[in-house]
């Protein structure tokens, strides 16, 4: 099946569209006294989305006190307070500016000892299920076609687990780490199957450097070589692009 791709003139317009969809769901759930479960992503792509959600919270009364969040991934090893941790980034970029209760926030733990990782990952899956499953999952896409840190070769049925990062991914992250040798070799990520379990998916991609991988993800048959291509097998996935990222479609 074809994943619907929505094209916007700018990244800000695309991000506002996704923010509005989240706003609508959260308000409907709040009115029913029910929680909303969001799957969240890091990277430069979702920054505009978080900015808009903060604005909706501060200026338009969007109450996030019933929201439960699960982040896709975290580097391993990675102390929570480290300048590069996704835990810290999520707090600085989003959580510190809205009213999601502390206890509702879940980010994979980058401080685990090797022998504790499997148990943590199984527990992360259980927590997602116990929360009722993810209502809306936000995704970016890496140059290797990864969603979360599901690098090429990640099986369609993969679950939350420890992974080894692709060389391209580490190179792309290097400028933020003062060099590739400082980028952690591993990460914990939700799996392809964990992501596809979400009821609704929004994958955002902005900029001409994403055009090639967006083409591969949307217009070639689903393959482990491009984990984002499995969105084609999801009944309610939407790809949100700016004109530059849509250039090869």
Q: Which residues are catalytic?
A: 151
Contacts of ligand GLP in 145-164 (CB under 6 A): 148-149
Contact 195, 147 (CB under 8 A): yes
Nearer to ligand GLP, 62 or 191 (CB): 191
**Which listed range, 36-44, 53-61, 102-110, 233-241, lies at the site for ligand GLP (CB under 6 A)?**
36-44
Residue 169 makes contact with ligand GLP by CB under 6 A:
yes
Cα distances (angstroms) measured from residue 120 to each of 107, 108, 123, 130:
11, 8, 5, 15
Contact 64, 25 (CB under 8 A): no
Nearer to ligand GLP, 36 or 169 (CB): 169
Separation of alpha carbons 46 and 11, rounded Å: 10
Nearer to ligand GLP, 43 or 152 (CB): 43
Residues facing 142 on adjacent strands: none
Residue 42 makes contact with ligand GLP by CB under 6 A:
yes
Structure-token pair, residue 193: 């199957």
Residue 140 makes contact with ligand GLP by CB under 6 A:
yes
Contact 197, 133 (CB under 8 A): yes
Min. distance of Cβ 31 from ligand GLP in angstroms? 31
Residue 39 makes contact with ligand GLP by CB under 6 A:
no
By CB under 6 A, name the one of 13, 27, 29, 43 that touches ligand GLP.
43
By CB under 6 A, name the one of 22, 141, 237, 239 that touches ligand GLP.
141
Nearer to ligand GLP, 62 or 246 (CB): 246
Contact 37, 133 (CB under 8 A): yes
Cα distances (angstroms) measured from residue 26 to each of 18, 23, 100, 155, 218:
12, 5, 12, 32, 29
Contacts of ligand GLP in 69-128 (CB under 6 A): 72-73
Nearer to ligand GLP, 40 or 62 (CB): 40
What DSSP string describes 41-65?
Answer: --SSTTHHHHHHHHHHHHHH----T
Q: Which residues bind ligand GLP (CB under 6 A)?
A: 41-45, 72-73, 140-142, 148-149, 169
């Amino acid at each position: 099946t074809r994943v619907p791709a929505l094209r916007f003139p700018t990244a800000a317009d695309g991000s506002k569209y996704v923010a509005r969809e989240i706003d609508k769901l959260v308000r409907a759930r709040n009115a029913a006294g029910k929680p909303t479960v969001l799957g969240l992503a890091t990277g430069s792509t979702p920054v505009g989305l978080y900015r808009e959600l903060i604005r909706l919270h501060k200026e338009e009364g969007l109450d996030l006190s019933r929201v439960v969040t699960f982040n896709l991934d975290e580097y391993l090893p990675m102390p929570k307070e480290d300048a590069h941790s996704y835990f810290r980034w999520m707090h600085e970029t989003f959580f510190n500016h809205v009213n999601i209760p502390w206890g509702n926030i879940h980010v994979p733990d980058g401080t685990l000892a090797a022998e504790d990782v499997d148990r943590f990952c199984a527990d992360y899956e259980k927590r997602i299920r116990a929360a009722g499953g993810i209502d809306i999952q936000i995704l970016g896409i890496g140059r290797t076609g990864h969603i979360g840190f599901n690098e090429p070769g990640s099986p369609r049925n993969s679950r939350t687990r420890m992974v080894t990062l692709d060389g391209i991914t580490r190179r792309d992250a290097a400028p933020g780490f003062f060099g590739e040798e400082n980028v952690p070799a591993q990460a914990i990520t939700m799996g392809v199957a964990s992501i596809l379990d979400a009821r609704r998916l929004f994958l955002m991609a902005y900029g001409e450097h994403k055009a090639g991988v967006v083409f591969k993800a949307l217009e070639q048959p689903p393959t482990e070589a491009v984990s984002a291509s499995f969105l084609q097998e999801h009944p309610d996935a939407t790809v949100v692009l700016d004109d530059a990222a849509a250039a090869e479609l």
